A and B are shown apart, each in its own frame.
Chain A
Amino acid sequence: MLSFISRRLAIAVPTLLVVIAGSFFLMRAAPGGPFDADAQLEPEVIENLRAAYDLDKPVMEQFLLYMARLLRGDFGPSITYTDYTVTELLAIGLPVSVKLGLTATAVALLFGCLMGIFAALYRNRWIDYVTMSIAMTGFAVPAFVVAPVLTLVFGLYLKLLPISGWNDGALQNMVLPVIALALPQIAILSRLTRGSMLEVMRQNYIRTARAKGLPEYKVVAGHALKAVSLPLVSYLGPAIAGIMTGSVIIEQIFGLPGMGRYFIQGALSRDYPLVMGTVVVYATAIILLNLLADVIYGYLDPRVRRE
């Protein structure tokens, strides 16, 4: 198991380097720069500004300087938020996105699995049809349509929940963003679980468990669930990536002060250090969580450890 984890880690580090180098050179390769909008500034002032952010040096040297600082945990100063370092901005944004993302993941896993299991157990009954309709809707109606409709119904018509804002993560502010973020994942997870559950319930060992007289809930909980969880764990990686990219749009719609907002604003205003900072954090999170999913998979299915 330990060698399995270390092998995966050995791939994770170069992957992260590829992400950092890729986004760094991609941004520097583009025409224009962060001070294009400041047309009223004197050329000398712009030169000084560029020098202050190391933008006057050759690109390769900039990259090495950036990497050296990154290794010390310093993301550099933000260009648009002149009074903040990127680290400070990330410290504001990250907790918001993490709380939102984790809650949405938990909600998606809980509801997705439960709905899938019950749909499979009561196949072709009303509970199956309801679940599969929700799954189809969740797939076909994207989050950026669901979210405004939710705010319209629950915020403006029924006046039950606030339509935007974070309010330090108060429960009533979390409800709508979490639903909008979790719904597409619930759709996929419930379909996956249902398919996997139908497959597993046909297996011989399930028949054996029934034959020795176990009650149905013990057959499901004790024998079926472990096998059902395998395809779910292998979907965890894409699910996490989906929730992170979804979070960018949900934060925008509900006006939440998370990482996604800084990423979009940074990209639009060419705030290189801010974009790099957010990309590094997103990439690290995705790679680490993928690694975690791999480890869980290896734990559940010993065959993959010996590849």
Chain B
Amino acid sequence: MGFLTQRRDRQLAAMQAAGRTVGRSLWQDALRRFRSNKAAMGSVFVLAFISLMAIFAPMLSPHTLEDFYWEYILVPPTLENGHWFGTDANGRDMFVRTFYGARVSLTIGVMTTAVALLIGVTWGSVAGYFGGRIDNIMMRIVDVLYALPLLFFIIILVTVFGRNIYLVFIGIGAVEWLTMSRIVRGQTLSVKQKEYVEAARAIGLSNLVIVRRHVVPNIIGPVIVFVTLLIPTTILVESYLSFLGLGVQEPMTSWGTLISQGAASIDTGPWLLVIPGTFLAITLFCFNFIGDGLRDALDPEGR
């Protein structure tokens, strides 16, 4: 026994001397597992590429969102005349429009998810941490809202209050927080009963410190997974609204708006539907793969 302990101590000392950490934390483990997931890693690169294009393509292109090229109306995609993705019925360059639409769609996806995250985490953690009557009332409210046709509310909201892009953020965010609050509440409830929280309370730590040091790090995994799955959902809802003509308004554009215009001219210019539709689909695919990859990485036993 003494020999084994000695050997282990020497190994530890050697590893520490070499500057390596001995144990791996949950996060390092998760990162390693995530890196070995090819579909998820590929999706990260594709999404990064689309995001970079969304930022830089409209800046670097010689065309702008509102340049009308009357000599190039409904030109199919080609490498010859500088309109790589073709032009639309008004002679506007589709390359710029597609990546400008990416800007708007991705921004809306991230911003509305942030709104949903803020409301959902606050609501769920308060309900879960305090428990009892407060929890009961707060979760009944969530139950009632769950049963409502909330997309109809968003439609009423944007039609009667004008088609304002910030209203779209808030409207979608205010609807999509429900599942988030349920997840956070469940996690908080289970973490709250763990021995280490009791121990923290026993040594006299304040509520705030307990929440920050013990509760938040332990509920953050499922929340991250849900966020990556919520972003594509909100992008879809925005496209849905824009398709109905209720989302982003001209001259601004989003993938939903482009798809709507493409669908209207599908017989004369199929590429007007196919190009933004493909980018939307690829983006949704990628978020989905990343979400699945994160779930597997953070919760290896959940499978």
Tell whether A and B belong to one assembly. yes
| Closest chain A CB from B207 CB (angstroms) | 30
Indicate whether B160 reaches chain A with its CB closer than 8 angstroms: yes
Evaluate contact between A19 and B149: CB separation under 8 angstroms.
Answer: yes
Given contacts A144-B259, A267-B155, A268-B159, contact A286 B281 (CB under 8 A): no
Q: Given A14-B144, A249-B243, A286-B147, verify A22-B153 contact (CB < 8 Å).
A: yes
A107 interface contact, C-beta 8 A: no
Return B259 CB to nearest CB of chain A, in Å. 6
A145–B284 alpha-carbon span in the complex (Å) = 13
Name the one of A145, A263, A267 contacting B277, with C-beta atoms under 8 angstroms: A145
Given A11-B144, A275-B156: A241 and B149 interface contact (C-beta under 8 Å): yes
Q: Is the CB of B160 within 8 A of A282?
A: no
Nearest A residue to B242, CB-CB: A144
Cα-based distance from A140 to B286 in the complex (angstroms): 9
B46 CB, min distance to chain A CBs, angstroms: 13
Interface size range on B against A: 35 or more
- Residues of chain B within 8 A of A156, CB atoms compared: 266-267
A193 located at the interface, meaning its Cβ lies under 8 Å from any Cβ of chain B in the complex? no
**Count of A-B contacts with CB under 8 A?**
112
Q: Is B143 in contact with chain A by the CB < 8 A criterion? A: yes
By a CB distance below 8 angstroms, the chain B residues around A237 are 147
A11-B143, A22-B153, A151-B266 known; A30+B148 contact, CB < 8 A:
no
A27 / chain B contacts, CB cutoff of 8 Å:
156, 160
Residues of B within 8 A of A249 (CB): 240, 243-244
* Residues of A in contact, count (CB < 8 Å): 48
Contacts of A12 in B (CB 8 A): 147
For residue A283, CB closer than 8 A to chain B, the reply is yes
Q: Assess the A140–B285 pair: CB atoms within 8 A.
A: yes
In the assembled complex, the Cα of A12 lies from the Cα of B146 at a distance in Å of 12
Residues of B contacting A5 with CB < 8 Å? none
Q: Say whether B288 contacts A140, CB under 8 Å.
A: yes
Contact of A30 among B160, B266, B285 (CB under 8 A): B160
Q: Mark B267-303, 1 if CB is under 8 A from A, else 0.
A: 1001001100100111011001000000000000000
Q: How far is the CB of B291 from chain A (nearest CB, A)?
A: 11
Q: Would A282 and B284 be within 8 Å (CB), given that A148-B273, A264-B155, A270-B160 are in contact?
A: no
Report whether A263 and B155 are in contact in the complex, using a CB–CB cutoff of 8 Å.
yes
For A137, give the chain B residue with the smallest CB separation: B281
* B160 partner residues in chain A, CB cutoff 8 A: 26-27, 29-30, 32, 267, 270
Determine whether A190 belongs to the interface, using a CB cutoff of 8 Å to chain B. no
- Asked if residues A286 and B149 are in contact (CB atoms below 8 Å), the reply is yes
1/0 per residue A234-254: CB within 8 Å of B? 000100010011001100110
A1 is an interface residue with CB less than 8 A from chain B: no
Interface centre among B148, B277, B282, by most chain A C-beta atoms within 10 angstroms, is B148
- A196 on interface, CB distance cutoff 8 Å: no
Chain B's closest residue to A244 (CB) is B149
Asked if A136 is an interface residue, CB under 8 A from chain B, the answer is yes
Q: Mark B154-179, 1 if CB is under 8 A from A, else 0.
A: 01110111000000000000000000
**Contact A23–B143 (Cβ < 8 Å):** no
- Most chain-B Cβ atoms within 10 A of its Cβ — which of A19, A141, A145, A149? A145
Given contacts A136-B288, A145-B277, is CB(A26)–CB(B149) below 8 Å?
A: no
Write the nearest CB–CB distance from B18 to chain A, whole angstroms.
Answer: 42
B147, B155, B157, B281: the one contacting A145 at CB < 8 Å is B281
B53 within 8 A of A: no
Is residue B3 contacting chain A, with contact meaning CB distance below 8 A? no
**Please, could you name 22 A-B residue pairs with CB atoms under 8 Å apart, sorted by A?**
A11-B143, A11-B144, A15-B147, A18-B148, A19-B149, A22-B148, A29-B160, A136-B285, A140-B288, A144-B240, A148-B263, A149-B266, A149-B277, A156-B266, A244-B149, A245-B151, A245-B152, A248-B155, A249-B240, A249-B244, A267-B159, A282-B152
4 further interface pairs, Cβ-Cβ under 8 Å (given A23-B156, A148-B263): A145-B263, A145-B281, A148-B273, A253-B263
A residues lining the B interface (CB < 8 Å)? 11-12, 14-15, 18-19, 22-23, 26-27, 29-32, 136-137, 139-142, 144-145, 147-149, 151-152, 156, 237, 241, 244-245, 248-249, 252-253, 263-264, 267-268, 270, 275, 279, 282-283, 286-287, 290
